[in-house]
Amino acid sequence: MHDARVVAARILVLVPAGAWVLLAPAALSPYLLIIWCYALIFSIACLGLNLVFGTTGLLSLGHAAYFGAGAYAGAFLYRFADIHSFEVYFLVGILTSTLLAAGIGFLCVRATKIHFAILTLAFGQIFHSLFIDGAIFRLFGPLGWALYLVGEGSMYIPRLTILGIEFEPEEFIPAFYYVIVFAFCASVFLLWRINHSPFGKALRAIRDNQTRAVYIGIPVRQYRWYAFTISGVFLGLAGALYGQLDRQITPEQLDWLFSAELVLATVLGGTRDFIGPVLGAFVFIGLDEIAGRWAIGHNIMMGLLLMLVVFVFPRGLAGTLDLVPGIRKVGLLMKRKWL
Amino acid sequence: MLEVTQINTFRGPAHILHGLTLSVNEQEVVCLVGRNGAGKTTTIDSIMGLLPLRSGQIVFHGENITGLAAHMRARRGMGYAPEDCGIFPELTVEENLMISRWLANASGRVKEAAFTGSDAQERAFSVFPEVRTLTHREGLHLSGGQKKMVAIARAMTLSPSLLLLDEAFEGLAPAVVTRFIDAVIKIKEMGISILMAESNLANASRIADRLYAIDRGEIIFHGDPKEALKNEEVMKALRG
Amino acid sequence: MDEQKQVTRRDFLRQLGVTVGAAGLGATGIGATGYLAAPARAAMKPKGNIPSTPIKTGHITFLTGPAELLGGPGLRGHLLAAEEINAQGGILGKRKIETIQADEAAGTDANVKELRRMKLSEKIDLFTGVISSGNTPALGPVAEELKVLTMFNDGCTDFLFDKAVPNPKYVFRVTNIQSADGVTAAVGAAQHWPKARKIASIQPDYSYGRNVHEHFTLALERLTGGIEVVAEAWPKLFTTDFTPHITKLLSAKPDLLVVGLWGGDYVAFYKQALRYGLFDKMKVATTLAFGGVPHAVGKDHPEGVLAGVHANYHFLYPPGDQWPVNKKFVDTYHKRWKEYPSFESDGAYTTLMMYKAAVEKANQLTGGWPDDEAIIAMLEGMGYDSPAGYVYIRPDNHQGYKDAVTGLTKNLPEYDFPVWDPNSIVYIPIRSITAPPNWPKPGQGGNNESTAAADWIKKTWPKAKA
Amino acid sequence: MDILVLQILNSLFYASVLFLLAAGLSLIFGVMGIINMAHGSLYALGAYVTAWVITFAATAVHPAVLFLLLPAGALVVTAAGVVIEPVLLRPLYKRPEEYQLLITFGLLLVLEDVMRFVWGGTPLSASPLMDALGIVHVGEFVYPTYNLLVIAIGVFAALGVWAFVYRTRFGVMLRATSQDRRMASALGMNVGRVYVQAFGLGCFMAGLGGAIVVPSQAAVLGMGVEVLVLAFVVVVIGGLGSLEGALVGALIVSFVRTGVIQFYEELELAVLYLIAAAVLLVRPTGLFGRPQ
> What is the pLDDT at residue D292?
54
Greatest mean pLDDT among A78-92, C38-52, C439-453, D68-82 = D68-82
Greatest mean pLDDT among A13-27, C314-328, D174-188, D213-227 = D174-188
Name the nearest CA neighbour of A75 among A134, A175, A160, A150.
Answer: A160
Q: Is the pLDDT assigned to residue C212 strictly greater than 90?
A: yes
Q: Is the pLDDT assigned to residue A275 strictly greater than 70?
A: yes
Name the nearest CA neighbour of B2 among B22, B20, B19, B16.
Answer: B22
pLDDT digits (tens, 9 = 90+) for B36-58: 888 999 999 999 999 999 999 99
Name the nearest CA neighbour of B163 among B174, B171, B151.
Answer: B151
- For chain C, give the number of residues: 466
Interface test with C, best of D148, D213, D220 (most C CBs within 10 A): D220
Interface chains of chain A (3 or more CB pairs under 8 Å): C, D
> What is the pLDDT at residue C465?
64
Q: For residue C226, is it left (φ>0), alpha (ψ between -120 and 50) or beta?
A: left
Strand partners, C126: C57
**pLDDT above 70 as % of chain C:** 93
CA B21 vs. chain centroid, Å, equals 17
List CB contacts (< 8 A) between D192 and chain B: 69
Average pLDDT value for chain D: 89
Of A32, A132, A156, Cβ closest to residue C141:
A156
Q: Is the pLDDT assigned to residue D96 strictly greater than 60?
A: yes
Q: A157 and A244 in contact (C-beta within 8 Å)?
A: yes
Instruction: Classify the C-alpha dihedral D196-D199-D202-D203 as positive or negative.
Output: negative
| C270 pLDDT tier (thresholds 50, 70, 90) | very high
Q: Which region among B135-144, B216-225, B227-236, C148-157 has the lowest average model confidence (pLDDT)?
A: B227-236
| Sequence-distant (≥ 6) Cβ neighbours of residue D283 within 8 angstroms | D239, D289
Summarize the confidence of residues C93-98 as an average pLDDT. 93
Summarize the confidence of residues B112-139 as an average pLDDT. 85
Taken in order of first residue, the domains within chain B and their CATH numbers are 1-77+166-171+193-240 (3.40.50.300), 78-160 (no CATH)
Q: Is the pLDDT assigned to residue B131 strictly greater than 50?
A: yes
Q: Is the pLDDT assigned to residue C31 strictly greater than 50?
A: no
Average pLDDT value for chain B: 90
Amino acid (one-letter) located at D77: V
Interface test with A, best of C75, C101, C121 (most A CBs within 10 A): C121
Say how many C-beta atoms besides its own lie within 10 A of residue B108's C-beta.
Answer: 9
ipTM summary value: 0.84
Q: A56 and A63 in contact (C-beta within 8 Å)?
A: no
CA D271 vs. chain centroid, Å, equals 21
Interface chains of chain C (3 or more CB pairs under 8 Å): A, D
Q: Is the pLDDT assigned to residue C316 strictly greater than 60?
A: yes
H or E segment at B2?
Answer: strand B2-11
Q: Does C113 touch chain A (CB under 8 A)?
A: yes
> What is the pLDDT at residue C46?
84
List CB contacts (< 8 A) between C156 and chain A: none
Judge: A246–C112 Cβ closer than 8 Å, yes or no: yes
Q: Is the pLDDT assigned to residue D210 strictly greater than 80?
A: yes
* CA atoms of D239 and D254, how far apart (whole Å): 16
Judge: D218–C268 Cβ closer than 8 Å, yes or no: yes
pLDDT digits (tens, 9 = 90+) for C356-401: 999 999 999 888 899 999 999 999 999 999 999 899 999 988 999 9
Summarize the confidence of residues D202-215 as an average pLDDT. 94
Domain ranges of chain D: 2-221
Domain ranges of chain C: 6-16+179-311+409-464, 55-176+322-401
Judge: B88–D175 Cβ closer than 8 Å, yes or no: yes
Judge: C240–D221 Cβ closer than 8 Å, yes or no: no
Judge: D113–A298 Cβ closer than 8 Å, yes or no: yes
* CA atoms of D95 and A313, how far apart (whole Å): 13
C 138-177: CB under 8 A from A: 138, 141-142, 145, 157, 159, 163-164
Give the closest-approach CA distance of B121 to chain D in angstroms. Answer: 14
Judge: D106–A307 Cβ closer than 8 Å, yes or no: yes
* CA atoms of D186 and B206, how far apart (whole Å): 28
* CA atoms of A90 and A92, how far apart (whole Å): 6
Q: Which region among C239-253, C339-353, C444-458 has the lowest average model confidence (pLDDT)?
A: C444-458
* CA atoms of A185 and A180, how far apart (whole Å): 9
Judge: C205–D222 Cβ closer than 8 Å, yes or no: no
Q: D224 and D102 in contact (C-beta within 8 Å)?
A: no
Q: Is the pLDDT assigned to residue C1 strictly greater than 50?
A: no
H or E segment at A71?
Answer: helix A64-81
> What is the pLDDT at residue D175?
92
> What is the pLDDT at residue A326?
75
pLDDT digits (tens, 9 = 90+) for B58-96: 999 999 999 899 999 999 999 999 999 999 998 999 999
Average pLDDT value for chain A: 86
Interface chains of chain D (3 or more CB pairs under 8 Å): A, B, C
* CA atoms of C451 and C163, how far apart (whole Å): 9
- For chain B, give the number of residues: 240
| Chain D residues within 8 angstroms (CB to CB) of chain A | 29, 35, 88, 91-92, 95, 97-99, 101-103, 105-110, 112-114, 116-117, 225, 229, 232-233, 236, 240, 266-270, 273-274, 276-277, 280-281, 284-285, 292
| A149 pLDDT tier (thresholds 50, 70, 90) | confident
| Sequence-distant (≥ 6) Cβ neighbours of residue A269 within 8 angstroms | A46, A275, A276, A277, A278, A279, A280, A281, A283, A316, A317, A318
> What is the pLDDT at residue C36?
46
Nearest chain B Cα to D166, which residue? B91
* CA atoms of D89 and C264, how far apart (whole Å): 35
pLDDT digits (tens, 9 = 90+) for D152-177: 999 999 999 999 999 999 999 999 99
List CB contacts (< 8 A) between D29 and chain A: 114
- Touching pair A, C by Cβ (3+ pairs < 8 Å): yes
* CA atoms of A67 and A63, how far apart (whole Å): 7
| Sequence-distant (≥ 6) Cβ neighbours of residue D203 within 8 angstroms | D24, D42, D77, D78, D80, D81, D82, D84
Higher pLDDT, D77 or C108: D77
**Intrachain domains C6-16+179-311+409-464 and C55-176+322-401 with the same fold:** yes
Q: Model pTM?
A: 0.87
Instruction: Give phi and psi for D141, each to the nearest 5.
Output: -110, 175
What is the 8-class DSSP label of residue B67?
T
Judge: C116–A154 Cβ closer than 8 Å, yes or no: no
Summarize the confidence of residues C255-273 as an average pLDDT. 90
The CA dihedral of B145, B151, B154, B160, to the nearest 10 degrees, is -120
* Domain count along chain A: 1
> What is the pLDDT at residue D286?
85
* CA atoms of A104 and C237, how far apart (whole Å): 28
Judge: C244–D217 Cβ closer than 8 Å, yes or no: no
Q: Is the pLDDT assigned to residue C33 strictly greater than 60?
A: no
Nearest chain A Cα to C61, which residue? A295
* CA atoms of A164 and C422, how far apart (whole Å): 64
| Sequence-distant (≥ 6) Cβ neighbours of residue D112 within 8 angstroms | A299, D41, D221, D222, D224, D225
Judge: D186–B69 Cβ closer than 8 Å, yes or no: no
Judge: C63–A30 Cβ closer than 8 Å, yes or no: no
Judge: D121–C65 Cβ closer than 8 Å, yes or no: yes
Nearest chain D Cα to B105, which residue? D188
Summarize the confidence of residues C311-318 as an average pLDDT. 87
CATH of domain C6-16+179-311+409-464: 3.40.50.2300
Q: Does A248 touch chain C (CB under 8 A)?
A: yes
A 55-114: CB under 8 A from D: 59, 107, 110-114
Judge: D220–C238 Cβ closer than 8 Å, yes or no: yes
Q: Is the pLDDT assigned to residue C2 strictly greater than 50?
A: no
For residues A261-299, one letter each, b for 16 or more C-beta atoms within 10 angstroms of the residue's C-beta and e for the rest, the string is bbbbbbbbbbbebbbbbbbbbbbbbebbbeebeebeebb
List CB contacts (< 8 A) between A132 and chain D: 269
Summarize the confidence of residues A101-124 as an average pLDDT. 88
CB pairs < 8 Å spanning B and D: 70
Name the nearest CA neighbour of C77 among C443, C387, C427, C409.
Answer: C387
Summarize the confidence of residues C344-351 as an average pLDDT. 94
Greatest mean pLDDT among A332-336, C348-352, D126-130 = C348-352
| C32 pLDDT tier (thresholds 50, 70, 90) | very low
C59 SS3 class:
strand
Summarize the confidence of residues C157-173 as an average pLDDT. 88
Q: Is the pLDDT assigned to residue A324 strictly greater than 60?
A: yes
> What is the pLDDT at residue D276?
86
A 126-165: CB under 8 A from C: 132-133, 146, 148-152, 154, 156
Q: C181 and C212 in contact (C-beta within 8 Å)?
A: yes
> What is the pLDDT at residue A153?
83
Q: Which fold has domain C55-176+322-401?
A: Rossmann fold (3.40.50)
Of D180, D186, D189, Cβ closest to residue B48:
D186
Q: Is the pLDDT assigned to residue C3 strictly greater than 70?
A: no
pLDDT digits (tens, 9 = 90+) for C118-148: 999 899 999 999 998 888 988 999 999 899 9
Judge: D186–B89 Cβ closer than 8 Å, yes or no: no
> What is the pLDDT at residue C127?
97
pLDDT digits (tens, 9 = 90+) for D32-72: 888 899 999 999 999 999 999 998 888 888 878 888 889 99
Strands C426-428 and B218-223: unpaired
* CA atoms of C28 and C388, how far apart (whole Å): 12
Instruction: Classify the C-alpha dihedral D207-D213-D219-D220 as positive or negative.
Output: negative
Give the closest-approach CA distance of C61 to chain A in angstroms. Answer: 10
Say how many C-beta atoms besides its own lie within 10 A of residue C448's C-beta.
Answer: 12
Name the nearest CA neighbour of A298 among C58, D117, D65, D175.
Answer: D117
Q: Is the pLDDT assigned to residue A6 strictly greater than 80?
A: no
Amino acid (one-letter) located at D215: P
* CA atoms of C364 and C120, how far apart (whole Å): 30
